Structure formats: structure tokens, C-alpha cells
Structure 1
Amino acid sequence: MNDNDIPSTPARRTDADEIARLLPAPGRWDLPHEQHLHHKELLMQRIDRDQTSEGHQASRRHDQASRPPRRLLRPAVLLPVTAVALSGILAAGIALTAPDGKPATRATDTVRPATALLNQISAAALKGDALPVRDDQFTYTRAKSREADITSGKAVVGPLKDRETWWSQKQGPLHKLGLAKADGETLPINAELGDTDGTPAGINRPTYRWLAALPTDPDKLLTYLYAKTPKVDEQERDQAVFDRIGDLVGEVMPPETAAALYRAAAALPGVTEAPKAHDAIGRHGVGIAREDTTYGTRTEWIFDRQDLTFLGSRSYLTKDTSYGKSGTLLSSNAVIEHAVVDKAGAEPTDPPRTTARSQES
């Protein structure tokens, strides 16, 4: 008789059997993808801490120092697991993998605050009213903004300006994309630099039809944005995508697209809450932010505290640079109104869909 012929007995029970006995039956509740990864990372951290504790710490120090950085995506459970790690798992309610491959949990461990807030913003956006837009019309946005001029090598912040834009919704490449009006001066919006045949609808000219065609699955949408977002010098790739999402959510778009963009942003690394965020006209709200540690800049999105509608954004330096000291404003804007009109330069006739609330101190 060999080992394979020996029946399983309590004396020969493996660590895996012991864990299976102690763990409750796996649940069947699905978690959002980012929450599942969050739980999985917590589990890996607990296992690593247990492996390096007390009696094993000295003997394993050299191996850990030479081990390559651990990736986030790892198996849900590593066996064997000691009783200390197991008790930590049970106490925290960490998500494990059920037999059908779906994540399961037995507790209410929460996701990071920024993810929870973006999920709420996404749900609110999904309830918004859709503005019907024809290809022969223009989307209209009225805003107030301030920008820093860096042509001198220093960031010189300009005054607050009124700005109106009309974006053509025509399909196909265009040489004239619309109109922009700032402080009474009206200028054409021309094709992107290098688009000799005109700029087509896309990430650099987000028409309503193009936005409506974007995938609404957050993972697929994020993959698409990473592929299409232009690279900017040495800017962090995650920051470039975050900033591009911020540009898009300030446009007129279907509620389903807005909701998907916010959920895609929730999966970006480094995204945090910004509790003191305010827009260009001083409206304070709940904020979402991300810092580019390479450039030393921070971008914030501001949302109304009551209905979570998008109010505007701002960016500023987070460290001293040749352009200015930490805290120097780079840009700030406040969305006042969105509408759809039949002609570039025409003022909306219907009541505004987005109206500035009174300024808060």
C-alpha cells in the first residue's frame, strides 16, 4: 500500500482540509471588480506579514530583500496558511474565490473611499436626463475659467473669464470644429494640429454620437482610454488617462457614458478624495483627485454635495518647480450650463440643464 491508498484520517488531514473545515460555506454574492482586487491584495499582505513574523523573520530577511516586487494579481489563497493568518482572514471578512470562480465574502469590508464616492457619482449620473443631439446640431457649454500662462517660464495666473463653446456634431473629419467665445471675442475652433485632412470624431473631438458608442463596461472602457489617450512627454500614463476622463465628463454626453467613465476612473491607481475641493467661482463640493508625482501636479474634480453633478475642475503644483512654488494654480473652471443648439454662436432658448449654485465661503 502506498501513500495514495491510505484513506484520509484526522491525523493526516492537510492544511487545505483544515482550512476548508474551518471556513464557512462560500457565498455567492458578486463584488465589483475593483473591490475584489482590493480584498485580494489585503489577503496577500496578511499572508506576507505572517510569513515574516517573529521566528521566521531573521531567516527570511535576505530572501525577501532579493525577491522582486509582488504583483497585485495573485492567487486568492496560498497554502499552507497558518492559524494566525486564517484567524485574520476570518476576522476581516476577506473575499475568497468560490468554487464557481466568483468572488465570495462573508462580511462588509469596504472599498477605498474614493472608489465608493465615484460609485455614488456614477449612480447619480446614470439617473440624469439625456439631451437628444442631432448630427447637424452643436453642443453648448458656458463656463468660467482661469488659466496660468507659462510661456515666460513662470506660471502667471490670469483673471477669471467667461467662456462659451459650441462643438459641431457633424460626422467625418472637420477643419472647423466649432466656436469659442471668451470675454466678448469669438474665435473658430480649428482642427487638431497635424490633422491636415480634418479632425474626426474621437477622443480629441468627442461628439455625442462618439461618446454614446463607447463601451459602458468600466474595464473595457479603461482599456480603450489607455489605448487612445495621447502620451504627454514624461507625464504618468495613469494621470494622462485621469485628466482625459476629466475633460470628457465636462461635455454633453449620454448618462450611461458618464456613469461608465466614473466607474472606470475608480479603477485607476492613485485616485483619492479631495474634501476641500472648490471650482473657479468658489463652489465647494465633494472632490476626486489624482497627483502626478513625476510632474508634481494635482488635478481635482468637484461635484455638488447634494446631487453629485459635475461642477468643474482645477489643477495646481504640489511641489516647487521652475514654473512656481507648491500650490501655484495652473487651471480652474466652473461649468455653468450645458445645452444643445442648432447654430454655432446661438444662445440656448430652453432653461439651462446645469446652473451655478450660489457661491459658498
Structure 2
Amino acid sequence: MTATTGTDDGRGGRDGADDRAELARLLPPATGFALPPGRHEHHRERLMHQIDHDTAAASARDRARKSAQDRRPDRAPARPRLLRPSFLAPAITFALAGVLVAGYSAQGGPDLPVRADSGAAASERAGNAQPVALVLNRISDAAAKSGEGPVGDDQFVYVRSQVQGGDLTSGKLVTGPLAEREIWYAQKPGPQKRLGYIREGGETLPINAELGDTDGTREGISRPTYRWLAALPTDPRRLLDHLTALTPESERQEHAQAVFEQIGYLIRETVLPPETAAALYRAAALIPGVTEAPDAVDALGRHGVGIAREDRGSSTRSEWVFDPEGLAFLGSRTFLTADTAIGAKGALFDAQAVLKRSVVDEGGARPQG
């Protein structure tokens, strides 16, 4: 009889190890399992959403421990810093309690029905949502094949749109009617005291240099000329880092939300070099909290594919809307996501619908056709 050591499980060898090793040698190697295309991004998105959820919960606990002064119910929620250039001051109403809201002229046009975006509706749409990175990559590819440029230094970028905004001068958010706006952005490099023109309510006004720029406003984040945009990094990560550094921070708004809205301004009221446009959308996919909104609506009620981000601190949500066929940019809107001291859930802060984007040789002149 052969002596054995250890525990024999009746299958030979120590705990069957020899048999298992022999079987492993005889059997063919296991076939590797590859996730279908896009599933890695899907699971990554789920993980990022969970991280966002946990972060928000921790922030809520921190806010609950603040003093009674900080938790007064009569305090209005913070409105995100306006990321449209400050030279639009003639068309902006400054709100109470440090809150800034675009106050567009109430000149004609039908009222846009304010649509409350309930949690249940958002959950239903999320069930049909694709990973946001895949959607933004498709939008990026479409943007790389389009464009109205290039734009010369002596030309103007022309944008015609329907706009709708809220006014807080009464202490409550009051959404005005739609109004048409035309704007001409000068492209001359270097400091400029005359940045363009804006026409709203039948009146054309000059756009002067930003407050404090006595020698004129240079091209940059608040005056994005075609030349400046073309010089931006086209690597998405480098571009996002660059824009994050250029976007001012505010205690009243998540910095990621400020960057998201800054990119929203660039894609809404400029003519973008195709490479820059493509990079901007891929950079937006890297911002934490950015999601798809499959049925977003612009200021004219046009439905399309949406890209959204919610700022929990200010109880606001901003959405970009794209044509479901060609993925061209249609417009955007920002609204309240909760009942607050200034307004009810769903109340509209602002909305835009871009109707025409072109390049002209003279400020104040409309493009032909």
C-alpha cells in the first residue's frame, strides 16, 4: 500500500488537487468573454452616476449640519453665473439676492409652455438613454463635417435666435414671452472697444467692451473669436482642462456646471472651426454628471436629442438640444428641478432656439437669403 500524506477526498491526491490539475491540462483553455461594443461605457456611466449620487448625499448631510442662518427657508437658491458675455448687459435683468437671470425683452411671440421635468418622467426617459459618451461622440462626428467658417478677421459672426428668459426683480421667477434676437460678433484680433451689435425688439444697439476693459476687450473665453477658437487644444482632455482653468469659480454653482454652461455658450452663439466643435463635444463627455436627455425641447418646442447636466446646489438643470436626424444644434434651456423660494419645479430660467448662423462682412447686415 502506498502511503499518502494530507487529507484524501476519495478522488486521489491531496484534496483532489492532482486530479484538478490533470483535468485543467486536458481540457481546452476557457474562451474569453468580451463585452459588446459600448457596454464598457455603459457600466462606467453607471459607476459615475453612483459616485455623483453618493457625493450629493454627503453634501446634503454637510448642509444639514450648517448653522440656522445658512438653512433659512426664505433664502433663494443660487442661480448659476451667467456665462454669456457681459457685453449683453442691455438685454439682461439683474435679479435679487445675488442671483443673475437673463431678462430678455418681452416683445411678441407665443409663450413657451413651461414643462416640469418630473423625476418619474426623467426615470422613464433614462431607461431608453444611451451612454452619454456614445451620443456625444456621434454629435462630435457630425460637427466635424459641418461648419459655416472660416471667418476672416474683418468679418462678423451672425446669429439669429428666438430667446426666452426669466426675471427675478419681483423676488419671484417670472418667465417672459419669446423674443427674436439678432447678434453680430466682431472678429478683429486684439483689444476692441466695439465688440459688435445686438438687435432685439426692433432696436439695434452697439456691444461695447466689457466693464473695466478701458483699452478694449481682448479675444478669449468671454469674446471667443474664430481665430481664438481655432487655437484651442483639440485633444478633449486638454481642452476640458484648459476651459476649466479659464472658467471662473463661484460659491453658488458647481464648477463642473459652470464649465458645462460655458461650453454651451460656445456651441450656441459662435461659428466653430469643425475640429474645435468636435473636440468640445468630446470634452463635454468627460464632465462628471453629464447625461443624455432623449426628449429635450428648445425654446420653439422642437424636440430632439438632449445633453444635460443638473446642478443640485442651485436646483437647476441645463439641456442642449440637437436635431434627431443630422444632430445639428437646435437650442438649449435651463429650468428649476425643485420647488424653491423663487419658483416652482419646472419654472424656466431661459431658453434659446437658434434659427440662423452665418458670416457677414458688415455689422448690422443680415446674410443674403
> Does the Cα contact within 8 Å between 2:149 and 2:272 map onto a contact in 1?
yes
2:303 is matched by which residue type in structure 1?
A: H
Question: 4+ runs of 1 displaced by more than 3 Å?
Answer: 21-27, 34-37, 39-42
The residue number in structure 1 matching 2:79 is none
The residue number in structure 2 matching 1:168 is 186
The residue number in structure 2 matching 1:134 is 152
Change (3 A) 1:168 1:325: same
Q: Distance in 2 between matches of 1:35 and 1:260?
A: 18
Q: Of 245, 252, 275, which residue of structure 1 is paired with 2:294?
A: 275
Write out aligned runs for 1:80-229 (5 A).
Answer: 113-229=131-247
The residue number in structure 2 matching 1:94 is none
Q: TM-score, normalised by structure 1?
A: 0.67
> Does the Cα contact within 8 Å between 2:163 and 2:350 map onto a contact in 1?
yes
Q: Of 254, 264, 278, which residue of structure 1 is paired with 2:273?
A: 254
Q: Distance in 2 between matches of 1:283 and 1:314?
A: 12
1:114 CA displacement: 1.3
Q: Distance in 1 between matches of 2:231 and 2:188?
A: 15
Change (3 A) 1:158 1:39: closer
The residue number in structure 1 matching 2:343 is 324
1:39 CA displacement: 9.0
1:189 CA displacement: 1.3
1:129 CA displacement: 3.7
Change (3 A) 1:40 1:340: closer
The residue number in structure 1 matching 2:44 is 38
> Does the Cα contact within 8 Å between 2:41 and 2:131 map onto a contact in 1?
no
Q: Distance in 1 between matches of 2:145 and 2:204?
A: 35
1:36 CA displacement: 11
The residue number in structure 1 matching 2:252 is 234
Tell me the SS of whatever aligns to 1:275.
strand
> Does the Cα contact within 8 Å between 2:292 and 2:308 map onto a contact in 1?
yes
2:216 is matched by which residue type in structure 1?
A: G
Q: TM-score, normalised by structure 2?
A: 0.66
1:183 is matched by which residue type in structure 2?
A: G
Q: Of 299, 305, 314, which residue of structure 1 is paired with 2:324?
A: 305
Q: Distance in 2 between matches of 1:319 and 1:264?
A: 28
Change (3 A) 1:40 1:310: closer
Tell me the SS of whatever aligns to 2:232.
coil
Change (3 A) 1:344 1:40: closer
Change (3 A) 1:35 1:154: same
1:131 CA displacement: 1.6
Q: Deviations over 1:58-87 (max 9, x none)?
A: xxxxxxxxxxxxxxxxxxxxxxxxxxxxxx
Q: Distance in 2 between matches of 1:40 and 1:151?
A: 40
Change (3 A) 1:22 1:318: farther
1:118 CA displacement: 0.6
1:38 is matched by which residue type in structure 2?
A: R
Tell me the SS of whatever aligns to 2:153.
coil
Tell me the SS of whatever aligns to 1:268.
coil
The residue number in structure 2 matching 1:314 is 333
1:152 CA displacement: 2.2
> Which structure 2 residue ranges, 5 or more long, are not aligned?
1-16, 19-27, 52-128
**Identical-residue share of aligned pairs (%):** 55
Change (3 A) 1:39 1:330: closer
> Does the Cα contact within 8 Å between 2:173 and 2:343 map onto a contact in 1?
yes
Tell me the SS of whatever aligns to 2:160.
strand
2:204 is matched by which residue type in structure 1?
A: T
2:222 is matched by which residue type in structure 1?
A: N
> Which structure 1 residue ranges, 5 or more long, are not aligned?
1-9, 12-20, 46-110, 352-361
1:185 CA displacement: 1.1
1:344 CA displacement: 0.7
1:290 matched to 2:296: no
Aligned residues: 266
Tell me the SS of whatever aligns to 1:139.
strand
1:307 CA displacement: 0.1
Q: Deviations over 1:233-277 (max 9, x none)?
A: 420011000000000011111111111000000011111111221
Q: Distance in 2 between matches of 1:276 and 1:161?
A: 24
> Does the Cα contact within 8 Å between 2:42 and 2:131 map onto a contact in 1?
no
CA RMSD of aligned residues (A): 3.1
Tell me the SS of whatever aligns to 1:239.
helix
Tell me the SS of whatever aligns to 1:274.
strand
> Does the Cα contact within 8 Å between 2:148 and 2:357 map onto a contact in 1?
no
2:185 is matched by which residue type in structure 1?
A: W
1:190 CA displacement: 1.8
> Does the Cα contact within 8 Å between 2:45 and 2:131 map onto a contact in 1?
no
Q: Which has the higher contact order (CA 8 A, sep 6+)?
A: 2
